[in-house]
Chain A
Amino acid sequence: MGTTAEYNATAGKVVIDEHQGHPGIKATTLDYGQINDEMLAMLDKPRPSYYLLLLGFLMALGLGALSLAIQVDVGIGYSGISHPIAWGFYITNFVFWIGIGHAGTLISAVFYLTRAPWRTAIYRSAEAMTVFAVMTAGLFPLLHTGRPWLAYWLIPYPNERMLWVNFKSPLVWDVFAVTTYMSVSIMFFMLGLIPDMAILRDEAIRKGKKLKALIYAPMALAWRGTNHQWIHYMRGYLIFAALATPLVFSVHSIVSWDFAMSSVPGWHTTIFAPYFVAGAIFSGLSMVMTVLIPMRAVFGLQDYITNHVIQSVSKMIIFTSMIVGYAYASEFFIGYYSGSPFERAIFYYRPFGEMESWTLLGENQINFPQIAFWLMVFCNVIAPIPLWRWKIRNNALAVWIITIFVNIGMWFERFNIVGSSLQHEYDPAAWGEYWPTVVEVGITVGSFGFFFTLFTLFAKSLPPMAIMELKEATNPPMRNAAKGH
């Protein structure tokens, strides 16, 4: 079917219906009680399949923990990181997970400010993902320091060690940016939860579940839903949204400057900040879809996370995919235009490998950055192209498959940046190769385990959708009845 366009003679204009009349959630057919019941049902005692899934994630997490133990015990030399490649999988993972977090803030804060109605059903889960992704990301710089137990040295305070952090280093900026981002994300997340926590608290008390009530009551902050409380709540929410919006830009800009501030060819380029921000939103939205589309199928949430929501996110994915594609292209163009042999060399090396030895069939084996480069181009620029079609956007399974490609592509984009430039800096005598060791792979798998374990636990302990806002988005029953619909 696709997009339908009809002419409405009384209004004298075209009516385009892309989403069968549903502005985000199936507003017209749901009543408050139904929303309440369906949302609370999601928090019921889980089925065995849930435990099976959780077990899988926990096993991945266990593998990560084991690898981490070996890594910390033996020391950083046990990884593939060595001169000249000082940043390998760990920093790649750090940038990847920080990026995943951005979608949550974008959806909860930016789309709140721009009054995009389709955010309602997905923002809670996306925000939770932000918090978990930043927690996951935070592990990697700590690990990468080699002696994570001394990480508090990064905090500037007068101390008996007479140590003072180097404020000129972008890595220190990162410490501040990420901790700020994390605290604001957590506070914003908790703030949004307040009215829903009150619902859960009341429900727990009603059913006589004391332990649950004990947990939920403090989080509800004595919420009674009075006018007075709502006024302050909405003000606070707006202010937090306005504070979180610049953070969407600042955090990943500063992460990008970890690279761009240096004079390493392929890293030092001015477009990095907006390019990383767009890339972060791109990967974050894809991860939101990767997680929520199965969840929607399992819990039967088609009335909430409607096809319209999936379509809207898909459009954002197309948009950010094009920004990322633009950034790739402009890097290559300016690399050529600069006339600098180092710039030109690195942008030749990324897609094609060594300049002199490169042949079409080649005796040389393909190196890792090359694989990363082509995966990045394919997954980030080419794979999202089908989303231009209405039919593909409307098909949750197709969107899900594409977003998995994007997740893979965005991981390899970061690896392409980290790996290739450090392998081939200025002096060929100082070139090197990088292959990850088993602990790095283990910790990478473990980071996915960590993230998904947290999310799986979240989905059964806190309402994964904003119950109160879903109710706000429905038509008020009384007024609706009065209109005679």
Chain B
Amino acid sequence: MKDIAEKSLFTIPDNIKRLLWVFIILGAGMFFVGLLTGGEAGLERTWQAFLINTVFWAGIAHAGIFFSVIWQLTDAKWGRPFKRLAEACAGFLPYSFVMFIIVFFGSGVLYEWTYNPFLHHGVAVKAGWLNLPFFVSRNIAWLLLIYAVSWWFVKTSIKPDIALARKLLGSDWGGKFADKMLDGYGDHEEEVIRLELLSRKIAPALALLYAFGGSFLAWDFIMTLDQEWFSTLFGVFFIVGNMHAFMGLLLVIAVTVRNRFGIEEYITINRLHDLAKMVFAFSLLWAYMGYSQYIVIWYADLPEETPYLVIRSMEQPWATMFLLIIIGVFAIPFLGLLPKTLCRIPNYIRVMGIWVVIGQWFVVYLMVVPSLQDFGHYHVSMGMHELLITLGFIGIFFLSYLTFLGKVPIIPISDKHLCRTWHGH
């Protein structure tokens, strides 16, 4: 345990930090330039790129916390060394909260219901749900609640690790952040038990909150872009997509961390294999959810539901993108992660992870953009707006993620299920 604690603390290397800051500045710059110049089209593209990245990166961060919750609930031993890597997503939560707040300012551009509500026989039947004050207030409430509980959960998880690190390496380990975390921390042995039992209580509550809250975020921020369309499965489909994307990202992070910190005896090849199998399984689950949503709507062919799919799967250029997404997010990870030999090559699964993340980004893109364009005038607009704003989000996500990770033990050293070697059981 001592070796892990010694290796854990790090500051982000200057060149990476500089790069991430450049990304952030480029992204923020593009955001303001896009809003101020370029007229209506520029405004729309800026906001849509902003929305895509907000829901995408927030979704990844939510899924990260969610996986830690799942490992806590299921007592799964294989996931232990990745627990902290998942929890470090908490670093992004304050920023994602700000991003959602910023989206509210773009709702006039993004959400048609703000100026042209859906009418059924002349009655605005959806106004009870789709009105700006309620939209803003309920989402702020959801987000605050989920983030507060998430932070509470992450805190109960890192506290004993920090305390143990201090016990092993002296009381100045971790500096100010650790001081703050350990404020009011009593006897280690008692606290460890107390926090473990507390964590077992928070975890199910957070899982429920995330399932419901995450669904409402998906329904509110993405589904209402096309205000006529509705689907009960949409929330689940979005959450499964988030989890898939996060697992992909975790593959990348886990392999990188493993090489960089020399913790091969915790993140063993067997565990990386488990992680790769998880990405494989989520490809299948994602495809299953997507298919379940697609075929029901396709078959019934109701006028209020079908356009959403017709636009995406039959109108060019979206039809091509639709096909590429099926190949990219389902077929390639499915076939590519099927052979056992390949799943055990760290650099190979890292590439797969990056591929899945990019694929899932386009899934969100295809959810958002076709809803915002006029019927029959479809075009893929990929340019500076999309590229730079995405880079900006990458910058913020990784800067906050790495900053958080640098302050805590990189592996949950006090965890009850952590063991050094892995016998496959």
Residues on A lying within 8 angstroms of B by beta carbon are 3, 5-7, 9, 12-16, 115, 170, 246, 249, 253, 257, 260-263, 268-274, 322, 326-327, 329-331, 333-334, 336-341, 388
Tell me the minimal C-beta distance from B390 to chain A in angstroms: 29
9 contacts between A and B (CB under 8 A): A14-B193, A263-B302, A270-B296, A271-B231, A271-B236, A274-B289, A322-B208, A339-B118, A340-B304
Asked if B288 is at the interface (CB within 8 A of a chain A CB), the reply is yes
* Residues 168-196 of B contacting A (Cβ, < 8 Å): 189-190, 192-193, 196
Contact: B304 with A274, CB < 8 Å?
no
Known: A13-B414, A268-B296. A6 touches B193 (CB 8 A): yes
Asked if B315 is at the interface (CB within 8 A of a chain A CB), the reply is no
Residues on B lying within 8 angstroms of A by beta carbon are 1, 118, 120, 125-126, 129, 164, 189-190, 192-193, 196-197, 200, 204, 208, 211-212, 215, 219, 230-236, 284, 288-289, 292-293, 295-297, 299-300, 302, 304, 413-416, 418, 425
Contact: A249 with B425, CB < 8 Å?
no
- List, in ascending order, chain B residues with CB within 8 A of A253's CB: 288, 292
What's the Cα separation between A228 and B406 when bound, in Å?
52
Contact: A5 with B196, CB < 8 Å?
yes
What's the Cα separation between A327 and B212 when bound, in Å?
10
What's the Cα separation between A246 and B425 when bound, in Å?
24
Contact: A330 with B295, CB < 8 Å?
no
- List, in ascending order, chain A residues with CB within 8 A of B230's CB: 334, 337-338
What's the Cα separation between A7 and B299 when bound, in Å?
58
**Residue B416 contacts which of A14, A261, A341 (CB distance < 8 angstroms)?**
A14
Contact: B293 with A13, CB < 8 Å?
no
Tell me the minimal C-beta distance from B215 to chain A in angstroms: 7
Tell me the minimal C-beta distance from A168 to chain B in angstroms: 9
Tell me the minimal C-beta distance from B202 to chain A in angstroms: 14
Task: Name which residue of chain A comes closest to B223, CB basis.
Answer: A337
Tell me the minimal C-beta distance from B404 to chain A in angstroms: 23
Contact: A331 with B232, CB < 8 Å?
yes
**Residue A274 contacts which of B196, B234, B236, B300 (CB distance < 8 angstroms)?**
B236
Contact: A330 with B414, CB < 8 Å?
no
What's the Cα separation between A272 and B295 when bound, in Å?
11
Contact: A260 with B416, CB < 8 Å?
no
Tell me the minimal C-beta distance from B83 to chain A in angstroms: 13
Known: A5-B196, A115-B425. A273 touches B292 (CB 8 A): yes
Given contacts A5-B197, A12-B1, A262-B300, 14 further A-B contacts (CB under 8 A): A3-B197, A9-B189, A13-B415, A16-B196, A253-B288, A253-B292, A261-B299, A271-B232, A274-B233, A326-B215, A327-B232, A337-B230, A338-B304, A341-B120
Contact: B416 with A15, CB < 8 Å?
yes
Most buried by A among B129, B193, B208: B193
Contact: A334 with B197, CB < 8 Å?
no
Contact: A270 with B208, CB < 8 Å?
no
Task: Name which residue of chain A comes closest to B196, CB basis.
Answer: A14
Contact: A337 with B292, CB < 8 Å?
no
What's the Cα separation between A438 and B380 when bound, in Å?
62
Task: Name which residue of chain A comes closest to B197, CB basis.
Answer: A5
- Secondary structure dominating the interface of B: helix
What's the Cα separation between A355 and B86 when bound, in Å?
49
- List, in ascending order, chain A residues with CB within 8 A of B414's CB: 12-14
Contact: A5 with B296, CB < 8 Å?
no
- List, in ascending order, chain A residues with CB within 8 A of B231's CB: 270-271, 334
Contact: A270 with B302, CB < 8 Å?
no
**Residue B192 contacts which of A7, A261, A269, A388 (CB distance < 8 angstroms)?**
A7
Contact: A13 with B300, CB < 8 Å?
no
- List, in ascending order, chain B residues with CB within 8 A of A268's CB: 296, 300, 302
- List, in ascending order, chain B residues with CB within 8 A of A341's CB: 120
Most buried by A among B120, B189, B232: B232
**Residue A13 contacts which of B190, B192, B200 (CB distance < 8 angstroms)?**
B192
What's the Cα separation between A260 and B305 when bound, in Å?
13
What's the Cα separation between A326 and B418 when bound, in Å?
33
Contact: B300 with A7, CB < 8 Å?
no
- List, in ascending order, chain B residues with CB within 8 A of A170's CB: 299
Tell me the minimal C-beta distance from B315 to chain A in angstroms: 21
Tell me the minimal C-beta distance from B209 to chain A in angstroms: 12
Tell me the minimal C-beta distance from B80 to chain A in angstroms: 11
- List, in ascending order, chain A residues with CB within 8 A of B295's CB: 257, 261
What's the Cα separation between A228 and B38 when bound, in Å?
72
What's the Cα separation between A388 and B201 when bound, in Å?
10
Contact: A269 with B193, CB < 8 Å?
no
Contact: A257 with B289, CB < 8 Å?
no
What's the Cα separation between A337 and B193 when bound, in Å?
45
- List, in ascending order, chain B residues with CB within 8 A of A9's CB: 189
- List, in ascending order, chain B residues with CB within 8 A of A330's CB: 215, 232, 235
Tell me the minimal C-beta distance from B226 to chain A in angstroms: 13
Contact: A257 with B416, CB < 8 Å?
no
Tell me the minimal C-beta distance from B373 to chain A in angstroms: 23
What's the Cα separation between A330 and B219 when bound, in Å?
11
- List, in ascending order, chain A residues with CB within 8 A of B288's CB: 249, 253, 273-274
Contact: B215 with A339, CB < 8 Å?
no
**Residue B164 contacts which of A12, A15, A257, A262 (CB distance < 8 angstroms)?**
A12
**Residue B296 contacts which of A15, A273, A336, A340 (CB distance < 8 angstroms)?**
A273
What's the Cα separation between A304 and B254 when bound, in Å?
39
Contact: A339 with B120, CB < 8 Å?
yes
Tell me the minimal C-beta distance from A430 to chain B in angstroms: 19
What's the Cα separation between A413 and B231 when bound, in Å?
21
Most buried by A among B208, B212, B292, B299: B292
Tell me the minimal C-beta distance from B239 to chain A in angstroms: 11
Contact: A270 with B233, CB < 8 Å?
yes
- List, in ascending order, chain A residues with CB within 8 A of B292's CB: 253, 270, 272-274
- List, in ascending order, chain B residues with CB within 8 A of A274's CB: 233, 236, 288-289, 292
Task: Name which residue of chain A comes closest to B301, CB basis.
Answer: A263
Tell me the minimal C-beta distance from B207 to chain A in angstroms: 8
Task: Name which residue of chain B comes closest to A115, CB basis.
Answer: B425
- List, in ascending order, chain A residues with CB within 8 A of B297's CB: 270
Contact: B189 with A336, CB < 8 Å?
no
What's the Cα separation between A115 and B304 when bound, in Å?
45
Known: A9-B189, A330-B215, A337-B126. A271 touches B302 (CB 8 A): no
Contact: A337 with B212, CB < 8 Å?
no
- List, in ascending order, chain B residues with CB within 8 A of A5's CB: 193, 196-197
- List, in ascending order, chain A residues with CB within 8 A of B289's CB: 274
- List, in ascending order, chain B residues with CB within 8 A of A262's CB: 300
What's the Cα separation between A115 and B302 when bound, in Å?
44
Contact: A261 with B296, CB < 8 Å?
yes
What's the Cα separation between A265 and B197 when bound, in Å?
45
What are the 5 tightest A-B residue pairs by CB atom distance, in nearest-first order? A339-B125, A271-B232, A270-B233, A273-B292, A7-B189
Tell me the minimal C-beta distance from B156 to chain A in angstroms: 12
Contact: B416 with A272, CB < 8 Å?
no
- List, in ascending order, chain B residues with CB within 8 A of A327's CB: 232
Contact: B192 with A14, CB < 8 Å?
yes
